[in-house]
Structure 1
Amino acid sequence: MESTFKNQTLGQIFNLLKITFVIVPIVAGADKFTNLLTNWEQYLNPDIANMLPVPASIFMMISGIIEIIAGIIVLKKPQIGGYIVAAWLTSIALTLLLSFNYVDVAVRDLVMAISAFSMARMTKIMH
């Protein structure tokens, strides 16, 4: 009985994380094209922006496509997608920390990266 309860609880936690890491990357990725939620270019490290071969707006749209694809991968293959989302969020956080801008967002992204990594690890238990 206790084992069943633990499995159900673990399944609920896994599903909540999976839904989160499907929806959030897709919504954030789509918003890179509209900037309705925020102006995404402001989060781009200026040193990195100056090295880009394309304008910052185009770079953010490319980032948006990557995020949308990552969300779809989480939907289809949560273990692989979880690792991709975790790596993506960690890279974003590191670029923010390097410029020491938006440290609060960097910390939030690191926490989300840990959650995505945890979801990916849980996939082995769930399947």
Structure 2
Amino acid sequence: MPNEPYASIIREGFEGLASGRFQTLSEAMYFFEQFPEYPCGSDGCVKVQRVKDTRNRPIDAGYIEHERWGISLRKGQHKPLVSLETFKKARDRLAGRAYVPAKKNISEDFPLRGFVTCADCGSPMTSS
């Protein structure tokens, strides 16, 4: 039996990562910080590493795995929080294998975008 409201928070986080709603781990971390039910560090903040560790646990998709003990990915006997497909999409996004849309302001009109820096502050010039 899933532990609510924690289960709903985890489910929405997985779906946000899988769908692209959260483009980075930091965006997912800011989402989880909104919920006092989500486990925090000793300083009361959600850490990026906790979010990363949570997204790499197949137990949330109803599967178990433990490479050190030689247990390959297999279906568990517990109710999953998310589908295996959603879990894999979220994990692939974290591993950098997911498709990220190209920026709309990259074009021939701005050939030096990202290559030229401001002489005063050193920040990269943008195309806007």
In the superposition, the TM-score normalised over structure 2's length comes to: 0.30
Which structure has the higher relative contact order (CA within 8 Å, separation 6+)? 1
Larger-gyration structure (1/2): 2
Higher percent of residues as strand: 2
Greater helix share, 1 or 2?
A: 1
